[in-house]
Structure 1
Amino acid sequence: MGSSGALVCAAAFVLVLLSSASNDERNFEQREVTFDIIMQEMQQPDSFMMQKEADMMDLFDPMGGSRPGVLTPTGSQPRFRPRSFGGPPSLQYPVQFPLGRPTSDNLQAICLHGDHRPRYPNSYFPPSGFGKQVRKASAVNMAESWFSMCCKGNQTWEREVTLCCATQAWELSVQSFCEEDSSVKDRLYHCCRQMGRDRLNCFHNDAPNPNYEATEELPVPPLSSTTNFNFDSNTCQRTIITPYRIGENRRKKEKKIGIRFPPGRPTVDVIVSLCRDQKLRPLYKANCMPGEGYKWVARQAKAINRIEKGFKQCCKKKQDVLNCTDLKWRDELNKYCVGENGDFAHSPCCSGELANDRYSCFQDISPDPYYNRTSVAEELSLNKLCDYHKIIKNKFPVGFPLKSFVGQCCHRPLDADVTICFLQNLDQMSETCSSRKASTPVVRRCCRMSSPQQCISKILMDAITKATVFSQKKNKKRCPLA
């Protein structure tokens, strides 16, 4: 009975299909329905139980067209898919979100492929709904617009300043997205639940295209951001080339910055060298720099001077030196982050929510974390005449002029060429012994030696040694700009 009932139902279903076909414009020739016909219909791939699933898109757009005026990131027109059909919004209107953290490795791609990564105009989404995707798209548009601004500064900035600009833009776009996402009654993006560096790392780890590779075949039109981005170059710990005013073809001379910030954290392994070599570590002038573009250098110089002053006081103690220096180090770096006027330093280390994260960050970026760069005795050579000739002339005169040494040799770019030049000058001075043209008593005294050249060289090296010790003891503050 069961099989007979199934055959009856199948026959009835085929009759419905055949009757519906009579509405077609073509003449349909009626046939007698037999058992063989029923079995034949059941075996057709596009009929009965194996009929093709109806595409819900055709219910809304039977002609296969699309909604006019709706653009995708690449400029083509997507099909309209109601929220009740076709899967979640992220699949219907995909957004390449989030963007990865700018680094020295992907900076070139950020600037080079900027117009070959997607943008999301308002017409990409339906007039209502898809709020989460819209917020993601706005964050991408915002960051890409700001990246474009940073990349245009490449002509007057060093690469590291451009990277600083892009990093600030990315971090601000992350912050803006989380603020907007938390302001609506919707599920908060999971990275926004974290804070500080953990939040930034989360966004970077989620990035589908962290290398900023080109994903669009054709250039996409740029979209301007509705939110202003004011890049503060003073927060970048790098060199800036400041151009002259418009109309001038020259540029100001590039300022090289030489400052060892931050000092390493005092530990039991470094406390001996920290105190022993304090006089060998430089202090810095904070008032020798122009205000425009170098405020961060002055801020670091003041922080180092205060730290070294605290170290000096701690190292004079006989007990608890390590705890004293570590406390001074932490206090002064906290002051550096907050600033004298309460302004917060835009340093990656200062943005840490926890104090221990901040201190670990400073230790990681320290150029001399173990205080061993100043513990090695300075190698002395004749080349040091270029650095100390003024001190030698005023404090430790050698008995003969150094003008020819300095004028002929010190302007040469390579150290090897400078050394060769000094040796040639020593040969010329020793040659005056045979011609009896030695003009100064010191040179004439060396001429009586078996090796006049070695005698003159020893006099110079003794003067260089004295000048080096004098310079280190004096510990005069140097300007971070050269």
Structure 2
Amino acid sequence: LFLEWLKTFAQYCTYLLIGTTWVRESLLPGERMKGPHSFSGPPPTTYDVQFPLGRPTSENLQAICDNSDLRPRYPSSYFPESGYGVNKLRASAVNNAEAWLSTCCKENQTWEREVTLCCATQAWELSVEKYCEEDLSIKHPWYHCCKINNNNKRLSCFSNNAPNPNYRPTQELPVEPLPSTIEFTFNPNTCQRTQFPEPSALRKSKTKKLSTPRTADISFPPGRPTADTIESVCRNQRLRPIYSIKCLPRSGYEMVALQAKTINLIEKGFKKCCKNKKTELNCAEQKWREELNKFCLPENRGQVNYPCCLNQSDKYSCFQQMSPDPYYNVTSAHEEVSLSKICDTHKTIKKKFPVGFPLKDFVTQCCPLQEEAKTACSVQLLEEMSQKLCASKKAVPTTVRRCCKLSSQETPQCISKIIMSAITKATNFSSQKKRKRCPIS
């Protein structure tokens, strides 16, 4: 009897569980039933967002306009009331971008195709800019593309990570459009062509001939000096660039000029700090903090509109995370050194780092050859030169005489080291002379 009762009770529980699940799935409030695709159907579980959008191009422009209502939108009801902050931020960026792209597409019938593309590009770039501004102002794991300081590289990063770069339709049924939360106004004067047909509202004003804006090419901010990086900070200082601001246009590049001045002052401070091994770390970190504080409040003219300057509670960690080279692993100097580099450095070697024997045979016989043949030619000449030097009764440097005392197989390697050392010194010397550069490309 007990077993029969237990069996009946188990069946009852099973029916009860099935009935409860059916009720929960079918009677959920309508707002929670909505999704980003068709605003109906079962509630989502992961709340995915198709982010980021791809860069508008001449190849995908038609799809951007034709498939606008067949790509997802994300109403506030798509997400739970709490949580999913990162996804909500990305969803808002997608909603805004799609609304702005639709605005450009509506004018497509009266605009030239190039004007529509320019409008779409401006809309997409603005969506990236606004997303990163908000993303970097929040204390959470930042989107990796937003950490890139160079604007061109940042935009390329967003485009390369787009899940649907060709703007193909991903929804079976048309979705309802959503209004943007940020205003977008197309400015045809910023397009790369000298003159575009303007929207009807702007046609009365004359367009001026404008040059294409140049992009920043500057490694800002520099990384924070630490016990692990101070050796690289000091050892490779001459290999890192400093910047001239004389090349900058008179207006439009104030932030780049300020960044360049800050880097130059920090590097100048590093040079003094690295002279004393005992205090170099504390001195370098203090100089780094001091100049970045000045960067955020330049000459008491008000706070700079830079993400880390707005994040006063954790400003220094923010600068460290924003740095394109936080551990000082990247320099402007290190090139692969080979015997073929003698073609570029032989004049500097002769003037500054003489090896005590002529290198003209390398220059005359090997340098005119194709790149892949230069090294083979140099190795063969090195063996011939080693034999001549060691057989010669003329005075040669002591270092070469030491090489000649080795075996016939070791002698060319020994002399090669002498030449390679001179090539390395000449290469570094040339890099240091070219250290100062313009912060825009």
For Structure 1 versus Structure 2, the TM-score category normalised by the shorter chain is 0.3 to 0.5
Return the TM-score normalized by structure 2. Answer: 0.47
The structure whose Rg is larger is 1
Return the TM-score normalized by structure 1. Answer: 0.44
Q: Which has the higher helix share?
A: 2
Q: Which has the higher contact order (CA 8 A, sep 6+)?
A: 2
